[in-house]
Structures are given as structure tokens and as C-alpha cells.
Amino acid sequence: MSSGALSPVRLGLIWRRLDGIVDQVSETFVRAAFSVVVRDNYDMAFSLFDAQGRQLTQSKRSIPSFMGTLPRTLQAVLERFPTEQLKPGDTIISNDPWIGTGHLNDISMVHPIFRDDRLIAFAASTAHTVDIGGAPSPTARDRFEEGLCIPICKIVEAGRESPAVIDFLSENLRQPDETLGDIRAQFAAYRDCTEKLHAMMAEEGLADLTPLADEIIARSEASMRAAIALLPDGAYQDGFDIDGVDQPLRVACAVRIAGDRLAVDFAGTSPQVRWPINSVLNYTQAYARYAVKCLLDPGAPNNAGSLAPISIAAPEGCLLNATPPAPVWGRHLSGHYVPPAIFGALAPILPDRVVAESGSPLWNVYFAGRLDAGGEPFVKMFFMNGGHGARPHGDGPGCLSFPSNVSNQPIEAFEHQVPMLVAEKCFVPDSGGGGRYRGGNAQRLRFRSLSAHPITMTIRHERVQFPPRGLLGGLPGTTGLDLVNGEVIPAKGRSELSRGDEVTFQTAGGGGLFAVADRAREVIEADIESGLVTEDKARATYGHDR
């Protein structure tokens, strides 16, 4: 086939094929992975960039934050290792929060792809690692307490693993086999990606990816600009309080639309705090761009072009642009408020697009202890999504991840790894906010320790004070709740569990959308029939009598 100009038909096909390659390669990683957090929770991303470092595509199951933070990570890698210092078979690693995903627990790697000794692309991936050493805790005062920071370095050089880097990791991690196993599973994925990319280029007669990348980026940028241009120019604001740690904090957001450009500014947001809930700018930007893309151009692909017309700013030193060495372990506790802030700001001009607030920031829990047999240490986490906000054309689904896209893990898999019993995982009736469209139900999880050794439990949960808001007349969902043996515990803290102790987590319910008076009678009846809404609640919210 000739390498002439790309016809729209051929471009479409090659583009789709590129998407197909990253999806397959990402599955290679997941299937070879050693951690539940990758293979069940899918807390990962796999993305492809051109030789200039422009993002081209990412796997379908890449989570929104990571797909958005990887471009900056690659840029930082190239600042440290300019392309002339990269060789075939190199892989560069780092978990620096400020160039990465905002906390140390996500390890990112970049793998330059060569063809005939010429750099043609970069594969890059990020995966969560449950343990990164150190003592991350809800009271950490700086990022040094939060674990091992891996500076930008080559973990593989010309195809050979660096013993120094591997040894550093092994010595500092509680579960080195799991983390290194995941890292090596990514090596397998890079190799797979290289082979598939080579095969595709050979079959399509492409000498390099630049003409393809130019088209992908130009067309995506045009699509996003056209979507922005449809909106009325102006400045739109939103602001709300969030739980914080020792006092409520404020998230403030202004969205300015001028022609085909959109700018988001978080000026007015509280200053960074001494608690590990600060977000770095890269993470804030990732979620801001994601939110705009969802609202304005959801059907188009996501890449450097679609993000170009959007600029994101946050004052240096604020909660959403913290400066080092701020503690950042729980950076999603502020960062996950970015999409609802943008939705809230744009709700008046996009009432048919916005969703009400979801029961997020994402909840999770860490359990650390020792296995009864052998006494090996373990650190495992468990994710719990809240109710999704009501959507413009229907109720919010119960327990659906937003703005992240982290899956749950099978309880049966969890119980194999942790000496605990999950006694309950169910919907919480009456937890979704009322409205013409109801917010999604929250979930309740109960864990019981079966361990002879004490288990240290760490949580950092939001939304126990301020519930997810309804939008455009909808009512808020319910707040979350954390209990140990029936007693309320602080939402951010650490406790020790003895055998038989029981913990209950109840996530937050999604907010409702539009006025309750507009909810259809038969839908309320169906809610009662299913038990997701009680008769009392239906009467109180909708004045509904059977």
C-alpha cells in the first residue's frame, strides 16, 4: 500500500486500529498482572504517544485521571532524558507526584518505541501499587512520610533490568513481588505494543506516525473547538464546601468561554493544608479536561488535540495546586471535586448534559496486618463507589464509579488475600437524592476481622459532612458513614481491629436532577417495589401515597 496522503476512510481505519492495539496491549498487562488493584480494580492506564510526545490514544479501560496525567509525565521524562539519550529497549520509571498522578502510589513508566533505530512512538502506562513503603497516613505532614519516591530513572536500559533500581524497590516495599510483578507485566505489554505497532505500520505502509498523528490531533482539536464554539461566551461560576480534615474547605471554580476556547480557573479555592488531601496541578488538570470532554465532546476520541483548546489554572499553593513537599497521599479527596465544580458552573447553560453530584471522592480502605499462616505482612485495599448522580435522561445508577472509573474487586478474591470476612455488600435504601431523576443508591459494606493478629485499618473518606448536591432543582443524596462496632469513627483516620471487630462503611448517595414534582408516579412505585426507596421516604420526598 502506498504511503501517500491519508484519505479520510483510510485514516478512520488506521486510527481505529491504533485504538485496538492499545486495548489489546492493555489486556496483556492486566492478564499478566500480579495485583488485584490492576487486574480487578483496573486502577491503571495504557497510552500511546508519537515521537514528539503528543498523546494519540489510550486503552478504553484507562482511568480518567491517569490518561490525563501521563502527557506531563512523558514531558518530564523527556526533560530528564532528551530523545538522543534514549535507546531501543529502554524503560523509564518514576512515581514523583508532581509530574505524575499526584501521589506516590502510582508508578508510571515510559517505553520509547523504535523502528529501524528511529524513535517512532512512546508507550506509557501507570498502575496503582497498594504499598509504596514508608508510612502514608491521614496525619502525614509531608510527602517524605508517604513512602518511597522513585526519581526519573531507567529501570531497563537497552533491554537489561537495572539491578540498582530493582534492589532499591525491593528493599523499600512491603510486597515487592506484587509490585515488581506488575512492573514486569508492563514490560510484556510494551513488547506486545512494539510488535503490533510494527506490524500495523508495515501493513499500512507507514514510514512513521507523524502524518497520522497530525491528522488525529488536528481533527480532534477541531471537533472540540466546534463543540466549545456552540456555547454562549461568558463566565460561569460554582463554589461549595467540602469536608476537609479539621475544618471545611472550599472549592471554587470559574469557567470562561470565549469563542472556541474554554478556560477553567480554581481561584478562590482554599489554600493547601497540612493534611494529605492536597492535589497537584497535573492531577487537577487531568480531571478538569476530562470533565469538559465528557460534557462537550463525549463521542470524539481523547488525545492531545481534543485537550488543546482547554486551559486549566489553579493558584499556586492552593488545595488544587499544592507545592512540594505537601502531603498528597489522598489527593483525590480534593481532586475528585473538580468535575462536579465544572458541572455546577456549566449547569445553567447545559441543563441537558450535566449530571448531579456522585457519591465521590472515591472511597477506599487499607488493611495492613500479618497473615496467620507464616506471619507474612500484607497491605490490601478495597474500593467502594458511591451512588452515581442523576443524569439528564434518567436515574443515576447505584454504586457506579465517577469521576474515576475504578471497578470493585470480587469479595471472594479479597477474602483469599486478607484474613477478614465481608459480611455485607448491598444498596442503601433511600440514599439517592430525589428529583425528576433520582440519584443512584449508595452501598453498605461490613468487614469483620478473622485475624489472630491486629489489623491496622486506614480510611480517608469525604462526604460525611457535605452530601453530593442535586442539580437544577434535584435534592442531595445522603452523606456517608463509617462505624467500628457500631460506633461512628472519624472519616479520616487509622484504627486497630482485633479479631471479631466489625467495620461498616456506607458510601454517599448520588444527587438528584430536576424538581421532585416532575418524577413520574409509576417510577416511584417501581422504586418502592424494589425496596430502593421506602414508602415513608417516597411520601416525604414526593408526597407519594400508594
Partner 1 sequence: MTADRGPRDEVASWRVGVDIGGTFTDVVLWDAQSGRMILEKLLTTPDDPSRAVLDGVERVLREVGIAADQLSSVIHGTTLVANALIERKGVSTGLITTAGFRDVLEIGREWRYDQFNLDIEMPRPLVPRSLRLEVTERIDAGGSVLTPLDNQDVVGAVGALREAGVASVAVCLLHAYLNPDHERAVAEALRRDLPDIAVSLSSDVSPELGEYERTSTTVANAYVHPIFRDYVARLIEALQGMGYRRDFLLVLSDGRCVRADVAQRYPIRLVQSGPAAGAEAARLFGELAGFDDLLCFDMGGTTAKACLIPDGEPERAVRFEVARETRFAEGSGLPLQIPAIDMIEIGAGGGSIARVDRRGLLQVGPDSAGADPGPVCYGQGNQLPTVTDCDLLLGYLDEASFLGGRMRLDRAAAERAVGEHLAGPLGIGVVEAAWGVHETVTANMAQAATIHAIERALDVTRFAMLAIGGAGPVHACAMARKMNIGRLVCPTGAGVASAIGMLASSISFEIARAAPSSIDALDFARATALLEGMDAEASALVAGAGVEADLVSRRFSAMMRYRGQGYEIEAPVALDAVRQGDRAALLESFSQAYRGRYGRSEEMPVELLSWRLAVVGPRSSLAETLAERGGEGAEVPAPGGHRPVWFDDRFIETPVYDRGQLMPGARINGPAIIEEVESTLVVPTEFALSVDRALNLILTPVA
Nearer to partner 1, 232 or 299 (CB): 299
Q: Is 488 in the site for partner 1 (CB under 8 A)?
A: no
Q: Strand 310-313 to strand 261-265: parallel, antiparallel, or no bridges (unpaired)?
A: parallel
Among 54, 115, 154, 196, binds partner 1 (CB under 8 A): 196
What is the smallest separation between the CB atom of 245 and partner 1, expressed in angstroms? 26
C-alpha cell at 407: 471497578
Among 116, 117, 246, 412, binds partner 1 (CB under 8 A): 412
With contacts defined by CB under 8 A, name the span among 58-66, 88-96, 244-252, 485-493 that binds partner 1: 58-66
Q: Is 406 in the site for partner 1 (CB under 8 A)?
A: yes
Closest listed residue to residue 474, CA positions, set 361, 343, 386, 384: 343
Query: At a CB cut-off of 8 Å and minimum separation 6, what does 28 contact?
Result: 185, 188, 189, 192
Q: Is 215 in the site for partner 1 (CB under 8 A)?
A: no
- Of residues 453-472, which lie at the interface with partner 1 (CB under 8 A)? none
Q: Is 545 in the site for partner 1 (CB under 8 A)?
A: no
Measured between alpha carbons, how far is 362 from 356 in angstroms, rounded to an integer?
A: 16
With contacts defined by CB under 8 A, name the span among 99-107, 112-120, 316-324, 419-427 that binds partner 1: 419-427
Among 73, 95, 220, 302, binds partner 1 (CB under 8 A): 302
What is the smallest separation between the CB atom of 336 and partner 1, expressed in angstroms? 15
Binding pattern for the stretch 305-344 against partner 1, x by CB under 8 A and - elsewhere:
----------------------------------------
Query: Which residue intervals of 420-545 are DSSP H helices?
Result: 521-530, 535-542
What is the smallest separation between the CB atom of 416 and partner 1, expressed in angstroms? 5
CA angle, 344 as apex, 341 and 347 as ends, to 5°? 150
CA angle, 104 as apex, 98 and 108 as ends, to 5°? 75
| Cβ atoms of 117 and 253 closer than 8 Å | no
- Of residues 83-142, which lie at the interface with partner 1 (CB under 8 A)? none
Closest listed residue to residue 458, CA positions, set 543, 530, 340, 369: 369
Q: Is 380 in the site for partner 1 (CB under 8 A)?
A: no
Q: CB-based burial of residue 447 (10 Å sphere; 0-12 exposed, 13-18 middle, 19+ buried)?
A: buried
C-alpha cell at 465: 459532612
Q: Is 539 in the site for partner 1 (CB under 8 A)?
A: no
Residue with cell 475504578: 406
Among 92, 119, 281, 294, binds partner 1 (CB under 8 A): 294
Q: How many CB atoms lie within 10 A of CB 20?
A: 15
| Cβ atoms of 432 and 439 closer than 8 Å | yes
Alpha carbon 80 to chain centroid distance? 26
Instruction: Give the three-state DSSP class for 172.
Output: helix
With contacts defined by CB under 8 A, name the span among 37-45, 117-125, 133-141, 246-254 that binds partner 1: 37-45
- Of residues 426-445, which lie at the interface with partner 1 (CB under 8 A)? 426-427, 443
| Cβ atoms of 162 and 154 closer than 8 Å | yes
Measured between alpha carbons, how far is 71 from 304 in angstroms, rounded to an integer?
A: 8
Instruction: Give the three-state DSSP class for 380.
Output: strand
What is the smallest separation between the CB atom of 135 and partner 1, expressed in angstroms? 24
Binding residues for partner 1, how many (CB under 8 A)?
80
Nearer to partner 1, 273 or 295 (CB): 295
Query: Which residue intervals of 205-314 are DSSP H helices?
Result: 210-229, 281-296, 304-307
Residue with cell 485504538: 19
Closest listed residue to residue 155, CA positions, set 215, 199, 213, 95: 95
Nearer to partner 1, 152 or 445 (CB): 445
C-alpha cell at 397: 445508577
Q: Is 19 in the site for partner 1 (CB under 8 A)?
A: yes
Nearer to partner 1, 196 or 460 (CB): 196
With contacts defined by CB under 8 A, name the span among 144-152, 248-256, 269-277, 294-302 that binds partner 1: 294-302
Binding pattern for the stretch 173-192 against partner 1, x by CB under 8 A and - elsewhere:
----xx--x--xx-xx--xx
C-alpha cell at 6: 491519508
Q: Is 60 in the site for partner 1 (CB under 8 A)?
A: yes
What is the smallest separation between the CB atom of 48 and partner 1, expressed in angstroms? 13
With contacts defined by CB under 8 A, name the span among 125-133, 166-174, 277-285, 411-419 that binds partner 1: 411-419
Q: Is 160 in the site for partner 1 (CB under 8 A)?
A: no
C-alpha cell at 51: 515521537
Q: Is 349 in the site for partner 1 (CB under 8 A)?
A: no
DSSP state of 226: H
DSSP 296-357: H-TTS--SHHHHTTEEEE--TTBTTB--TT---TTTHHHHTTHHHHHHHHHTTT-TTT--PP
What is the smallest separation between the CB atom of 233 and partner 1, expressed in angstroms? 24
Q: Is 370 in the site for partner 1 (CB under 8 A)?
A: no
Q: Is 295 in the site for partner 1 (CB under 8 A)?
A: yes
- Of residues 514-533, which lie at the interface with partner 1 (CB under 8 A)? 529-532
Q: Is 13 in the site for partner 1 (CB under 8 A)?
A: yes
